[in-house]
Structure 1
């Protein structure tokens, strides 16, 4: 897992926001020790973000999908790869979000970073809370099963 937990941060008037220290550490521990992230508008009121490793995996997955559904693969590639921006981290670990991205996610002076393993989302704290609540509701019926599977993986040494 690379991007884990939810963090809140301030967004200043220049659209600068500091990436959480844990996320920056995850970027540095990646294959290329990245000093940037890729960000694109999500399907809802949020932004999606990832490192180049995950972007490469998305690109390959789209190529694989193109074998069965070339139109869907092209649309996804256009939305994600074509819609993404490479955002450099400054010395303080900040990125500058493009104005259009801030408008897409209706970001104000506070944002939340929501870790989703190999990628993360940037949203308003209200949207982040709504996502967390909806996820808890969706997982309630299968949570015991998921925990049992995870416990078994840990016992077998397959997690981590």
Structure 2
């Protein structure tokens, strides 16, 4: 599974192409699809992105955690897979950011790529900075912490 960390801000060219940060591309090397999968975020004005393995993991979790013909399964598969787009890397590591995804996240001429662990997001840069400040403030105020891993390596 790929690991995405750090924040990068890149310009979008006149044709709607944007360079995916080199560390993110490196994390995706060896995947079955040479590019990213992108979909509108469920929670934020942002675009969620990852490798094809991330989407395969979501498919697997849906298969084991919901009944195939249930309303929950239908809602989630419609919301996730019908809006997802496979964006292939060009020779320079760029992807064509679809207009509908850019509009959904209010992204104009510049895009901020932010690592979120197993996936990354693309934001309008000023909106991302506001969110980062708010998230850090909430984490500090609520005393958010991580549990220590057990000696056997399990969480």
Q: TM (normalized to structure 2)? A: 0.86
Q: CA deviation at 1:25?
A: 0.5
* 1:26 equivalent in alignment to 2:27: yes
1:142-157 equivalences in 2 (<5 Å): 142-143=143-144, 145-146=145-146, 149=147, 152-153=148-149, 156=151
Q: Which residue of 2 aligns with 1:134?
A: 134
Unaligned residue ranges in structure 2 (runs of 5+): none
Residue deviations 1:82-114, cap 9 Å, x none?
A: 111110001110000111111111111111011
Cα distance in 1 between the residues matched to 2:61 and 2:25: 25
Partner of 1:42: 41
The aligned counterpart of 2:91 is 91
* CA offset digits 1:1-35 (Å, max 9, x no partner): 6111111111111110000010000001x5x3641
**Counterparts of 1:18 and 1:49, CA distance in 2:** 14
RMSD: 2.3
Where do 5+ consecutive residues of structure 1 fail to align?
none
How much has 1:65 moved relative to structure 2?
Answer: 3.0
2:32 equivalent to 1:3: no
CA contact (8 A) 1:27 1:33 kept: no
Query: Which residue number corresponds to residue 123 of structure 2?
Result: 123
Greater shift in the superposed pair: 116-125 or 37-46:
37-46
Mapped partners of 1:102, 1:63: distance in 2? 30
Normalized per residue, which structure has more helix? 1
| Whole-Å separation in 1 of the counterparts to 2:69 and 2:122 | 29
Contact 2:35–2:89 under 8 Å retained in 1: yes
Q: Which runs of 4+ in 1 moved over 2 A?
A: 67-70, 155-159
Provide the aligned length of Structure 1 versus Structure 2. Answer: 151
Paired residue secondary structure (1:90): coil
